[in-house]
Structure 1
Amino acid sequence: MPMELQTTSDLSLHQMVQAIVTVLAVINPVVCGSILLTLTPKLAPAQRRRKAVRVALSILIILIASALIGLRVLSVFGISLDVFRIVGGMIIAYMGFDMLSGRQTVGQATPTDDDAAASNSLAPLIMFAAGPGTITAVVTLAAVHTPDGLPVTAIVAAVVGAGVTFAVLLLAVGMGSRLGHGTQAMITRSMGLIVASMGMQFVLTDLKAFLSL
């Protein structure tokens, strides 16, 4: 295999892994599992599994749509791709620092204490997993990795992220209420370090490229 082709292949693999880890860290499937249990306290396991399917499909649709049309929306509003890369990286880094500090909690995603109303609404969970922060991450990945073509890395990351989240939601349904807040906090902080590091990497890399123009 020619050295140039091997280098390109290694770079693509690195970008793919980076995209998947970033999306998974921002979605935070473990916390999503806890939110599902919080929102559906009176539902049977079979009903919760159906809710998990709806959540995973919603996440998948939102993130793939963001990857496909996010850059076109930027062009419609005349937003520079270079500027968006830098700002997107800053937002991702901020989310990471927020996770590290422990301020990102399950309670923030629950809009009501009424069990019946909460059981019928998955909006808080979907907004947590595929909200503005996650959408920004996916669009930033599309902008950084494939600004001029099909955002394959962002799409694959969205598919893997939704799939892993679905698996964790099913696991949470099986475990019931045994998913402790201590475990959630530990995983959230660990993921926060990854998210913050990747966000800062995006900022510094794109800022260097922008200043060298």
Structure 2
Amino acid sequence: MLNLFAPEVALQSFVLAFSSLFSIVNPVGSSLIFAQVAAAHSHGERLELAKRIGLYAALIMLAALWAGAPILNFFGVSLSALRIAGGLVVAASAWTLLTAPEAREARKQAEATRDPAGNTAGNLAEIAFFPLTLPFTTGPGTIAVAIALGSSRPAPGPERIGFYVGMSLAALAIAVLVRFTYGSADRVVTWIGPVGARVLGRLFAFLLLCVGTQITVNGVTDVLGPLLAQVGR
């Protein structure tokens, strides 16, 4: 069994993906906005909406992790280029989260309170996927992070299996957190407050910046490594 599965790789991948996805999704901070959006609805309606958003978020993150990099490779985007571009996008998103969280909170507030027709959200069941899942909870930034994480997959073998197991479990864990923090949004607001959510968000934003930098470094190394080896001969 251990020959088919690398548990240490799965653990490392889980920690990396969980910290990265948590910082960009920020379920605790987003739940503060969700509480405002759903304030006019009953507790039961908020729970049902939280379940749907959690399910949709899991599907989006898993699709980006598993299929994002292969799809781009199909269109001729090399793995090295994907790592460099993805790492830069992740680092840029992290920098924005780290230096200007208020601007992102205002944008997410606007996304969450607008329905597909551009009007104030009314029926929560109709907006479970758009805009409350996409782009509010798991938007382009989350998708970019997931694709960048997926692009760092190892060579085929036990390590790749462990890699995808860890990444997938991290995505599911984030979706579960979204479901429970949104479902308990009122208690989250009381317990942590806006200041606590912002401090927590900046902590994970710094970790995300480090992840984006490392992904970019890996891509640059993939490109320059063979060239430097040829020059050294």
Range class of TM-score, shorter chain? 0.7 to 0.9
Does the 8 Å contact 2:79/2:151 carry over to 1?
A: yes
1:27 and 2:29 equivalent? no
Secondary structure at the aligned position of 2:104 is classed as coil
Compared CA separation, residues 41 and 26, structure 1 to 2 (3 A): same
Partner Cα separation in structure 1 for residue 140 and residue 208 of structure 2: 15
Q: Which moved more, 1:59-68 or 1:8-17?
A: 8-17
Q: Which moved more, 1:128-137 or 1:57-66?
A: 128-137
Partner Cα separation in structure 2 for residue 132 and residue 147 of structure 1: 27
Partner Cα separation in structure 1 for residue 111 and residue 126 of structure 2: 15
1:195 and 2:197 equivalent? no
Does the 8 Å contact 1:39/1:110 carry over to 2?
A: yes
Does the 8 Å contact 1:172/1:179 carry over to 2?
A: no
1:98 and 2:106 equivalent? no
Identity percentage of aligned residues? 21
Opposite residue 162 of structure 1, the aligned amino acid is A
What stretches of structure 2 of length at least 5 have no aligned partner?
227-233
Opposite residue 124 of structure 1, the aligned amino acid is P
Compared CA separation, residues 159 and 146, structure 1 to 2 (3 A): farther
Deviations 1:120-176 (A, max 9, x none): 523233112211111121122121034645533331221111112212222214456
Q: Quote the RMSD (CA, aligned, Å).
A: 2.5
Does the 8 Å contact 1:34/1:179 carry over to 2?
A: no
Superposed, which structure 2 residues align to 1:164-183 within 5 Å? Answer: 164-175=177-188, 180-183=193-196
Opposite residue 75 of structure 1, the aligned amino acid is N
1:135 and 2:135 equivalent? no
Secondary structure at the aligned position of 2:122 is classed as helix
So what's the TM-score if we normalise by structure 1? 0.84
Partner Cα separation in structure 1 for residue 149 and residue 214 of structure 2: 12
Superposed, which structure 2 residues align to 1:102-181 within 5 Å? Answer: 102=101, 103-105=103-105, 106-112=108-114, 114=120, 116=122, 120-122=126-128, 123-126=130-133, 127-146=135-154, 148=156, 151-175=164-188, 180-181=193-194
Partner Cα separation in structure 1 for residue 22 and residue 72 of structure 2: 24
Residue correspondences, number? 207
Compared CA separation, residues 14 and 176, structure 1 to 2 (3 A): closer
1:208 and 2:216 equivalent? no
**Aligned residue in 2 for 1:185:** 198
Does the 8 Å contact 1:48/1:173 carry over to 2?
A: no
Compared CA separation, residues 202 and 72, structure 1 to 2 (3 A): closer
Larger-gyration structure (1/2): 2
Partner Cα separation in structure 1 for residue 23 and residue 144 of structure 2: 13
Deviations 1:33-76 (A, max 9, x none): 12221221210111101110010001011111222221221122
Opposite residue 53 of structure 2, the aligned amino acid is V
So what's the TM-score if we normalise by structure 2? 0.78
Runs of at least 4 residues of structure 1 off by over 6 A?
A: none
Compared CA separation, residues 63 and 115, structure 1 to 2 (3 A): closer
Partner Cα separation in structure 1 for residue 132 and residue 196 of structure 2: 19
15, 24, 36: which one aligns with 2:34: 36
